[in-house]
Structure 1
Amino acid sequence: MAKAAKIFGIVLAGLVLLAVIAAVLVQTQWAREKIEAQLSQRLDGRELEIGTLDIDWGFPLGISVSDVEIANPEWAKHPYMLKLDAMQAEIDVGALLTGNLSLQLLELEQPEIHLARQADGRSNWAALTSEDSSSDSSSPIQPDTIRIQNGRLTYRDAALDAEVTLDIATTDNGADQRQLSIEGKGSVQGKPLQLSLTGEPPSQALASGAPYAVTLDAQLGEIQAHFNGEAKQLPQLDALQGKLTVSAPDSAELMAFNTPAIDVPAFDFNTQLKRDGQRWALQDMDLKTGESHLTGSLVLERGETPELSVKMQGNRLDLNRWGVMRLLNAEQDSTQPHAQGDKQSLQQRAQNLLQPLRRYRGEVDLSLEQLLYGDAALSDIVLKGSLAEQRLKIDQLHAEQGDGAISANGALDLTKKSLSGTVDLSIKELDLGRALEPLGYPKLGTLDGELHAQLGQNSAHLSDTHLTYANPARDLRIEVGATSTDSGLLLTGEAWRNEVPLQFELDVGALEALFDDQPYPVEGTVTSRESSLSVNGTITDPLQLEAADLAISLEGPNPANLNPLTGLSLPSLAGYQLRGQLLWENQQLRLQDLRAQWGESDLSGDVRLDLSGRPMLWANLHSDTLHTSDLKAPDTPTDPNDGQVFSDESLGLDALRDRDAIVRYEADYVVAKEIPLNAVDFKVELDEGVLVAEPLKLAIGKGKANGRLRLDIRPPQPTGELHLDITSVNLSPVLREADLPQVAQDSAGTIGGQLDLNFKGHSLGEMAAALDGKLELAMSGGKLDMLAVELLGLDGGEAALAALADDDQVPMNCTYLRFDSTDGIAKLEQFFISTTDSNITGGGTIKLDSERLNLAFEAHAKDISLFSGNSPVELQGTLSNPQVSVVTGELAARAVASVAGALIAPPLAILPWLEAGLGEGSGVGCRKALNEFEQSTGP
């Protein structure tokens, strides 16, 4: 409004002065055109028209101008910036003769001014407000009497989304009772605006330095304001003084300037407003809203180095009710993509944070009984400090939180790019989670202790610094002491994670190096019980852990001991040693040149884990030697499932749903007592919940087993398929490595077969209970002997062998069996053993859910005269505790014999499984047995 009055005055002054010049010269068309040309030139060539110009020669001198129009730029909505129906002016001739212009009367009829500003800042009045005119605070004209009839001023501002119309008039209420009246309406950012201004006679407003009484009532949306006071140096409003009252009902919306609009609670605000040039002061401020009552003062002095002084005290301030938290959340959301795409170092962030402070001076004295934000609350808040000559001084900072509190003081010199000064911080059981959760840092623990720092231009030192951090939700507690040394910073202390203790001692870089863009050195050890980790390398931006390059060495009795500390699912193994280069950058963790030794086994390779999106693991691992006994810790129970072969313990397959992996592993030499293996080679790919192991290669004896495993973990009940081809496996060398040389010498043959299974479930027990598929195995050679029976742990084995054979060591030509399983019931469809004197058959079922056996076997003499009288044998009990019995009753023997099935020769398809691996005593038993069977059944 001040700018509009100034522009109006400049235009009128130009008209009056040029009209006077024309009157002094000659009242001619030429003079009028000259006036139009000069004003048009001042307005950047915009068209200007003056309808009539009349001079009333007399005392006083009268000048009349009518139908004045000044065009607007083409982009403005209104065609003209100024339109004036008529202007009457009376000039004191005596003063004019002395060289002074004195207006006794200025009367305006229907003046209209239309001001506009575009979104890019261009305005239609820029040509009238040059630096020369803006520096002059006095009014161009100061008439004794001003009358305005039906004046109007409109203002459109695209940048502010504002449109306002003001109706301006003067009223005569008797002698010396003339007053100015302005009524306005419009909208700002879609909110309706209404205002009413009443002032003293307009001529007093133009009197240089004289106070001008004014009363203003305004309403924007639901927010109302009232000002009653006086102004000086109009129209610039460089001096104001009066009482300002602002109020709003609940949930009124403030205007938004480059930020989202926020709702405010019902409030009443009163203050004494005073402006003196660049200095704005709000004295005796009084704000009441709900249960909150704040008082104080605020002084702002603008200039090259703005100065702000705040003194405020109150009982309660709820930032939630003022929409501040919603505003902060919006700012965090808007800056998050920028932060991800344009990462800044700690040094850059500190400089950006402190840079604005270098331009200001000020003092603050704030005390609040309670501050509410989000779900958090602080009490007994005190902040006293000052900022002058780029030196920030904190005399007192204190806040309490329940039983916790934080206090700080110190001073920082901001004149250099790096900080210098002192900071002393005392913390008592401060709940960081409660304090910082509204700002986007949830699930933090409590902090307790003291920190004393002295900062120099190129150095920083800590002394008597002890901090304790506790996070019960994560069962974590850390006690650390920090001391500056000649080379950097020494951190020592203890920590507890899930009740497991650890100790650490770390030599890190100097404290001031945290503010550099260079990698930060770290060296030291962390120990927990009998496990120890050594690190030596660098970390970039330690507080954000942006990158790391560390040589690590880890050793201990069992990796699983670290699970409570790390939260990982490391396997239970024998004592181990591990070393490698650990790299972290761009959300990717890499372990290069891995070398590990546990028990008598070794491991080497590279591992990479990408955490930028869905976790992805790549691993290429190799073992020269793998002892399967090292895959269990020495103290692992030998029978953790209470005699159950298929454990009901979950395999943890659900954890594979939210990650992907590609793992390749080779073991050149495998020593396995329980599993007859020589070497292993497999590749596993896990993609979107589907795991495929292919190739899956096992070297057994001089033979091999090749297969494919597929697991689909996406359904609630995981499903899987397993196919395995076993070819020419000679068990003798394998059994020797398994410390069973007698069995290898007496009983081993060459084995081959096929395995095709379909299963589902979360554990081996569930998978076995729903197993579908088949198993075929054949063995050429070997011996059926008492030693093998005893090693299998079969009670009654001696009687069973005697019932099936007439010696305790019987050479076998060929052995074949086939199991078919449906819904967890495995049926022995065919069982055949060919010895020198007899063929042995068998049959029955195994219920895999209960692991119960119901099998029977019977011997058939090849020559009745040489071998007869053998009894059937039953195998019952469970898989972990089978029981053998000889059936002696004739009826029972016939029943068992019917279960054992008829004598059927194995299929010819078994021969390729066996003959490629003939060797150590294996013979050609199955081909011989098939030939005999064919001859016995021939024509």
Structure 2
Amino acid sequence: MRRILKIFIPIIAIIVILLIAGYVLLTSFLPPSRIQAMAQKMARETLQRPVEIGRVGLSIGFRIGITINDISIPNVEGFKPGPMMKIDKTTLHLRLLPLLTRRVVINSVELHKAQANIEQNKEKQLNFAGLVPKEAQGMGWHVSFSNIRIRNSKIVYWNALNRTEYTVTDIDQLIKVRRNRIAISGNLTVSIPETENIPQLDMTIDNAIEYDTLSKDINIKNISVSTKPAKLKISGSVEKSSVLDLDAIMDLNDLSKLSSLLPKNAQPEDMGGAIKGDFQIKGTTEKPTIDGQFELSDIKIVPKGMKRGIENVDGALSFDRESIEDISIQGNIGATRFNLKGAVSDILTEKPALKISADIEGDLKDFQGMTEETKTITMKGALSSSVQVRGTADKPLFTGDIKISNAMIDGIGLGRPISNMNFNGRLAQDALRITGCKGEIGRSDFSFTGQISDFKKPVIRIDNRSKYINLDEIMPKTKQGKTTQGKPAPLTLNGSLHIDRLTGMDMEFKNINTEFQYKNGIIDVKNGRAQSFDGDVYIDFYYDANNPEPYRISTRLQSVSAEKILQRLLKFDRLKGKLSGKVDFQGRGLDQKSVLSNLDAVGNVVVTRGAFNNFILLSELLGWLGLKDYKNVEFSDFRCAFAIEKGKARVKDWTMASRVGDFLTNGTIGLDGNLDLHVALTLSQQNSGIVKKYHGDWIFFTDNKGRTIVDIIAKGKMGAPRFTLDRNRINQRIKGNIKDEFNQKIKEFESKLKDMLKGLKP
């Protein structure tokens, strides 16, 4: 050991002496004042820009170097104030041999905590455009970098046009220049700023690249780009800066982390799973080709605005620059299983070509409550579908079969659920042809064929036949009863209906034929025709399930039973005969009590070959005139124009031709029975004599046929009327101011009614 120390101690002593001697020589050759001046000149001539520098010193260790603190390069005029670049510490490493000849040769530089502020102004000019370092030399010094080391540095890019700032931080790069080769390696972090829809994105990049300045070959040993959810690795070469031979591996190991990087208006409610891919990039920089594949593992996506989505998605696909091939993806919607296969070609064009098949096996219950709008809809039933998609993305063509068995659907705005539904359909091009659909709604049944078009906003055309429809079960309860929960289905349904028998609202209809439309909960029936009340009824019906009140019904009646229809609508059963005419209704509530209190209506009707039986108002009126024992009054025709508003009927020009005489009536009759009527009664010749004899003190007007005309005012209640003579009208009649009033009103009414009943069968 002592012998070894005896050998090394002199050697160490010599090295120390040489270092001390070298330091003395260097400090005498390079005093601080000369280093300061030399550094100032080298920086200015190398960068071709004014440069401010701070303290300059000399460092001697295993390498000899010049240290410069606080370098600052001012910004160009016309850009932001402040420095274009600033460097906390710069170390210029010197070659040793040239120093022996008292010459300074700098071959490498190290920058620590440098910050470059790159800016593009509104005129699209860059402040760095003229700042390109170049080789420079002067008296006693020479700069030719072979190594550039950048540590803990930062680049800030500001775009004044869109007021956006990008930053590159944690820059740690080593640039080596060896003859014709330039090697760049290191890492950095790129930050893309937050926008209105996209949050801030940070990417960490590791790189190791080599460039041959003679052959222009680029050798990419590694480029790795990492974000929170994804990693991308690229390696390979670019021959002559043109011919590509690159391999890439992508790994999205947790899709849940990708959600925050998507546009805010498209971020899903939930997302998970993993995607892995590898691909090769060949060809040239002008015409690159790509060939690779992706693997999907346990993917789950719940789209924005939905409660549930797809899950357990696994599969794979391959792709190249122009197509996606070998698609094989399987997944679930609840317990429903789907299988997707096929390819998409011409993906770089505006009209990619589709060749896809999809098979689905499952249950409708897996699709209920998927969105806020459908959360109250419940359904179940076996679902089976096999669909092929051809054509192009802008005009896809669908073919295939869809089958639903033993299904139940509730909560779509109907009073009872749809049950026992069986559906068979076939997709043909851009529509679904319904070859058969049968089911029940309570005791009601339906069976139809049709077509569905516009799948984004479904429009359904059907032709239905039903043996029996119970309207009370189908229509949801209104405020008078329990309100049915659930929003109407967001679809448009129209077509034709044939119903053998329909009941509802205490009415019965047979042999119904009509056109109809259902759109977003609104039922609109037009040109309906049915047999009811022992006659023919033509009806238009409007009902909004979103806002059930008021409803609107427009009817044209032909030879129906006056007793039956008035008993149903107005609880009045004293009028018999065949009724024809037109009546428009608007009301709240469909039960009889609601109809009586809330019904509004306008109508013009005629009753032929009828009679008033035990009608107190008429019997009391005739008794008051002296015509006794008229419990039943038969008539040949009774014409009536009326309007019902807020529970009160307004009577206008009612005419009735009977054996008693001819009645002309105006005024109001409340649905509560209150009367305010004016009656002009032209008595028959026989009854004229009876009344004159009974009321010998009255003044009567007699027409040229010997018939007495009596003008009467009726007040009180329907069951307890009070009568007085209308002396004003009697005086006007005697003076000749009122003539042939009854026949004139009949002609006017007949003309109006003829137009209303146009098109009805004779």
TM-score tier (shorter): 0.3 to 0.5
More strand as a share of residues: 2
TM-score (norm. length: structure 2): 0.47
TM-score (norm. length: structure 1): 0.40
